[in-house]
Amino acid sequence: MNITTLNDVEEALIENAQRELRKAYRLLTKGPEEEEVPLGQASATTLRKLAAYEAALARLQNTSGSGIGGIPNLI
């Protein structure tokens, strides 16, 4: 997709809107699509990344009072 001119941007926005309308119509007329069930085991790389994300999330959740970057938790 090339969006170097204003006309290209307008066309891209219209195409995106049309695609979203088609998706909404399919959802209303046919119901939700069946989700793909993953087959087999995730790769070792994926499992390591997931473990790292979980550890980072745990560290963020254990931040006491000061929040992230010194910003107080408001929730």
Tens digit of each residue's pLDDT (9 = 90 or more) over 7-26: 889 999 999 999 999 999 99
In this prediction, residue 68 carries a pLDDT of: 54
Please indicate, yes or no, if residue 41 is contained in any of the structural domains. Answer: no
How many angstroms separate the CA atoms of 13 and 19, rounded?
10
CB 3 within 8 A of CB 12: yes
Helix (H, G, I), strand (E, B) or coil at 41: coil
Please indicate, yes or no, if residue 28 is contained in any of the structural domains. Answer: yes
How many angstroms separate the CA atoms of 63 and 14, rounded?
44
Please indicate, yes or no, if residue 43 is contained in any of the structural domains. Answer: no
Domain that holds residue 15: 1-32
Half-sphere exposure of 49 (CA within 13 A, CB side): 5
Instruction: Name the domain count of the chain.
Output: 1
Quick one: which of 53, 36, 37, 57 has its CA closest to 45?
53
Task: Provide the residue-wise pLDDT of the chain in tens; the chain has 75 residues.
Answer: 567 888 889 999 999 999 999 999 999 999 888 877 778 888 999 999 999 999 998 888 886 555 555 555 555
Please indicate, yes or no, if residue 55 is contained in any of the structural domains. Answer: no
